A and B are shown apart, each in its own frame.
Chain A
Amino acid sequence: MENVATDENWKICFAQLAPGLLLFARQWARSTADAEDIVQEAFVRFWRKDHDIANRGLLYATVRSIALDFLRRDSRRARRESTAVSEMDQTVQPLFEIEDESQRALVAALDLLPREQREVLVMKIWNELTFAEIASALEISQNTAASRYRYALAALKKNLPAV
Chain B
Amino acid sequence: MNDFSELENQLRKLRPPQPSADLTSRIERALAEVGQGRSSELRSETARLAVTAGVLPQERRFHFNWLSLGLGLAAAAALVLFTRIQLERPEKKIPTLASITPAPQFSSPTSTAQFVPAGLTQVVYHTRDEGLHFPNNSEQPMRRVRSHTRETLRWRNPTTGASLRISYPSEEVSLVPVTGQ
Main secondary structure of the interface of A (DSSP, over half): helix
Q: A106 near B: Cβ within 8 Å? A: yes
- B16 within 8 Å of A by Cβ? yes
Q: Is B49's CB within 8 Å of the partner chain A?
A: yes
Task: Report if A48 contacts B (CB, 8 A).
Answer: yes
Task: Choose one: A6, A23, A47; the contact of B34 (CB below 8 Å).
Answer: A47
A81-112 near B? 1/0 per residue, CB < 8 Å: 00000000000001111100011001100000
Closest to A5 in B: B49
The answer to whether B7 and A153 touch across the interface, beta carbons within 8 angstroms, is yes
Question: Is A52 located at the chain interface by the 8 A CB criterion?
Answer: yes
Report B21 CB to chain A, min CB distance, Å.
Answer: 11
Give the chain B neighbours of A14 by CB distance below 8 A.
Answer: 24, 27
Cβ of A105 to closest chain B Cβ, rounded Å: 10
Residue of B nearest to A121 (CB): B11
Q: How many chain A residues have a CB neighbour from B under 8 Å?
A: 48
Give the total of B residues in contact with A, Cβ under 8 Å: 36
Minimum Cβ distance to chain B for residue A39 (Å) = 7
**Residue pair A54, B17 in contact (C-beta under 8 Å):** no
Question: Is B128 an interface residue, CB under 8 A from the partner?
Answer: no
Contact between chains at B17 and A96 (CB < 8 Å): yes
A44 pairs with B17, CB closer than 8 A = no
Asked whether any CB of chain A lies closer than 8 Å to the CB of B58, the reply is: yes
Write the chain B residue with the least CB distance to A157: B7
| List of B residues within 8 angstroms of A153 by Cβ | 4, 7-8
A54 to B, closest residue via Cβ: B54
**Bound state CA distance, A22 and B23, in angstroms?**
11
Q: Judge whether B35 and A47 touch: CB under 8 Å.
A: yes
B27 touches A43 (CB 8 A): yes
Report, nearest first, the 7 A-B pairs whose CB atoms are least far apart. Answer: A3-B54, A23-B16, A153-B4, A50-B56, A18-B19, A44-B30, A96-B14
